[in-house]
Amino acid sequence: PMYHQFVEPTKRYANIIVPEGGENLVAIDMLTNQAKAMLKQN
């Protein structure tokens, strides 16, 4: 019930949604690499 009340309605405001949350190591690795690359540019 809490998911439908709080999480689902706020998904439309998210820039990125990682399927399977913290268990999706491929997506987390991709995001980490992108963030590192962006930090190196600045």
pLDDT tens for the chain, 42 residues: list them. Answer: 899 999 999 999 999 999 887 899 999 999 999 999 999 997
Rounding to the nearest 10 degrees, give the CA dihedral for residues 10, 34, 20, 1.
Answer: -10
Q: Domain range spanning residue 36?
A: 2-41
Return the pLDDT at 20.
87
If one counts the domains in the chain, the total is 1
Sign of the Cα pseudo-torsion (22, 24, 10, 5, in order):
negative
**Exposure class string for 1-36: b at 16+ Cβ within 10 A, else e:** eeeeeeeeeeeeeeeeeeeeeeeeeebeeeeeeeee
